[in-house]
Structure 1
Amino acid sequence: MTEPDLSQERRDLLETLRLHRWFLRSTTEGMSEEQARTRSTVSELTLGGLVKHVAATERGWADFVVHGTESMAPPEDGDYSAWQSEFSLTDDETLADVLARYDAVATRTDELVATVDLDRAWPLPEAPWFEPGATRSARRTFLHIVAETAQHSGHADVIREAIDGHKTMG
């Protein structure tokens, strides 16, 4: 299926996802491994860690679109610390690794945007940040991925500017 064959809604979703991914990726252009790991603000966030987190988040929501609630089950012991590790590069990860992973995730998500029933909905798992009994459609999930990516692109822009003065968004 070529994109012109897609509905306007699907083309809009794809264009918006790709734009915000580009903003995030562009914050890493020309960065060294050391810079990709640099905490340039008071937060724990780094450029490499943000890309890793956004890729993992997008993958998780794409899994939700396909497999539903079980794919996002919270840890049985209530310990969310493993999810915190998404925000930093491990010693054996590189910026190139997480960018490649992000590309693979984006390709899969784009295929889902083009093919899944956008009205298909699943209950959200029980978690402190979800309203009890709420559901999310594929459409709303893709919009959430856009919002998540846009928010973290802004974070990345601030981090990059603090590292070397480069502004990616203006």
Structure 2
Amino acid sequence: MTSDSAALPGERADFLQTLDTHRGFLRYTVRDLTDEQAARRTTVSELCLGGLIKHVSGVEARWMRFAVGGAPAMEAAEPGGAVAWEERFRMTEGETLAGLLEAYERVAAETDALVVSLPDLDRVQALPVAPWFEPGATWSVRRVLLHVIAETAQHAGHADIIRESLDGAKTMG
């Protein structure tokens, strides 16, 4: 969490503290791993630890673009070019765990700064057209933040299972 948000009162501080807690669980789960370990699948799932870091980072960045610019901003090409769907969940040639964690830190800092600076968490945007969204539905910035927190927490749990399958290490307990 940024130093600006540490002194932030109210729900914004609560959102950022909760998000930072779950980001921390996810980062802690990949502690002391090699790139090879971070890229290894340990369950029948396609997920690996490095891929989860990459996915959560991308999800957070896309939803924050949505919070500011709506569906067109969310659907805009990723910095560095479009990434194939399946590559959002795994480490690809040339990627390192350290690089993925650095990118995640940058996304986290951008999100924190955005949450601090946005004038209104009630601002709504129309959701993108997708089968999992009700047609014409909108989300507020507040709802986006809750979604990002839930997504991060869910994937931190996935990461814990993968890590325990990899070498027995656990995030908690």
Give the structure-2-normalised TM-score: 0.90
Aligned partners of 2:76, 2:65: CA distance in 1, in Å?
14
Structure 1 stretches of at least 4 aligned residues deviating more than 3 Å after TM superposition: 1-5
Partner of 1:85: 87
Matches within 5 A, 1:17-56: 17-56=19-58
- C-alpha displacement of 1:4: 5.7
Aligned partners of 1:61, 1:154: CA distance in 2, in Å?
20
Matched position secondary structure for 2:139: strand
Which of 135, 140, 148 is the matching residue for 2:151? 148
Letter in 1 for 2:73: S
Letter in 2 for 1:123: A
Partner of 2:73: 71
Alpha carbons 1:51, 1:98 under 8 Å: kept: yes
Letter in 2 for 1:110: D
Unaligned runs of 5+ in 1: 76-80
Unaligned runs of 5+ in 2: 78-82
- C-alpha displacement of 1:5: 4.8
Matched position secondary structure for 1:122: strand
Matched position secondary structure for 1:89: coil
- C-alpha displacement of 1:73: 3.6
Partner of 1:99: 101
Which of 97, 121, 137 is the matching residue for 2:124? 121
Aligned partners of 1:65, 1:21: CA distance in 2, in Å?
19
Give the structure-1-normalised TM-score: 0.92
Alpha carbons 1:74, 1:126 under 8 Å: kept: no
Distance of aligned partners of 1:158 and 1:109 in 2 relative to their CA distance in 1, 3 Å threshold: same
Aligned partners of 1:85, 1:153: CA distance in 2, in Å?
19
- Cα RMSD between the aligned structures? 1.7
Aligned partners of 2:134, 2:172: CA distance in 1, in Å?
33
- C-alpha displacement of 1:82: 1.9
